[in-house]
Amino acid sequence: MSAVNGIALAWLLNVTAVLPAMHTYYELTTGRRRNDPNVPSAYVPFETFFDSETFIGTLTPMLRVVRRLPPALEELAAGEAVQYVTFVNPVHAGPQTDLQRLREHFRNHNVLRVGSLARRLVWNTPALAHLRLLLHSAVRPSTAIQTLALHLHREMRMFAARKQLPSTAFVGLQLPLGTGWKEFCRQEQLATLGDNGDGLESAFAHGSRIPGSTATTHAERDGADSDQERCNMGAEAVTQVLEERQVGDLSRLLYVAGAVNISHLQQLHRQRFVVMSRARFTIDVHPDLAPAVDMELCRQSALFLGNMYSSFSFILREARLAMGVAERAMYYNLDMEETQGDLSREEALRWDVLPLLRHPSQAKHSPLSPSNVLMNG
């Protein structure tokens, strides 16, 4: 999400964007976990994960993107302090905003390095909606990622043929579980209630609070508890949703993205799903590349079901929406009717994206001729 928001910021500032380096936790050659995750070698080229040529070419109508800076500018940028962003709202770009501050910094330095932009920019204009559509066309896997995904997909088709399943089509499922995800959900609940237990509006909120009030109501606390349960939905509850929505009528072949343990698999098997995951195949997938392989496989699924609190799931759901096949992606922890049309209210609030994707004709934009440089890293 940070890299995508970085592209939007470059467009808003009318500057050239430099492809970001991608952070990894494991050595690319050995697969061993790095002792220090912040060493320079932990940042690898964008091309490790994505097809940079397609990315740059697809975005050309709206902004200029380059792989890297020329040596002279690289030296200049190396001495630049990273600028951190609180929140960018393009509709409100007054003199005291982050957007204006970044513009002024640019004017004086000609180079801008920004920190993480994840969930720090709102896509709330028709032109940005059009840019987001372009991004879904621009993001394609690197050759290495695509090769791994094709291998796994071929293995699944062969398995389905051997078992004489009715179809080789499969359902993609993201099932984030475990202590790490549980802690993430807890932190999201705390963000809903505020740092000191105060009731604050957030992406989780279903209503609004009286301005200036610092008291957390019972309803707010109950709502936050309910959201945490939905966020950390267990395998048994997920399988029940799959049955209620008659997912098995489409396919009993289920590919589960991410790491799954035996108990999770048993719950899915009880509902007569044939469960596949990376662990089932003999191919060795690098830990840092694995999520990208999972995403590419889920893109090829006949139907995708995800967790609405996960950016992985949201990107896949929005990609299907951009393709005009919203019915082929949904969340198991959000009512199915909410995802039949445009982005739901909860998605818009959580990911700061207005439901404009159904109306790309509204996006009025003209080619830009950026002359400066933005680095997102």
pLDDT digits (tens, 9 = 90+) for 150-205: 999 999 999 999 999 988 999 999 998 888 899 999 888 887 665 443 332 333 33
N-to-C CA span, the chain:
12
- Pair of tokens at residue 115: 């920190």
Report CA-CA distances (Å) from 267 to 111, 165, 255, 262: 53, 20, 14, 9
Answer for the pair 5, 120: CB distance below 8 angstroms, yes or no. yes
Q: How many CB atoms lie within 10 A of CB 198?
A: 13
Which pLDDT belongs to residue 354?
77
| pLDDT tens per residue, range 52-82 | 999 999 999 999 999 998 888 888 888 889 9
* 3-state SS assignment for residue 46: helix
Which pLDDT belongs to residue 218?
47
Mean pLDDT of 342-359: 76
Q: How many CB atoms lie within 10 A of CB 231?
A: 21
Domains of the chain, CATH where assigned: 2-139+361-376 (no CATH), 143-179+233-352 (3.40.50), 180-231 (no CATH)
Mean pLDDT of 203-217: 36
Mean pLDDT of 2-17: 93
Answer for the pair 199, 220: CB distance below 8 angstroms, yes or no. yes
Answer for the pair 277, 255: CB distance below 8 angstroms, yes or no. yes
d(CA 221, CA 247): 33
Which pLDDT belongs to residue 219?
46
* 12, pLDDT greater than 50: yes
* 146, pLDDT greater than 90: yes
Answer for the pair 84, 114: CB distance below 8 angstroms, yes or no. yes
* 210 HSE (CA, 13 A, CB side): 5
Of 43-57, 111-125, 259-273, 338-352, the poorest mean pLDDT is in 259-273
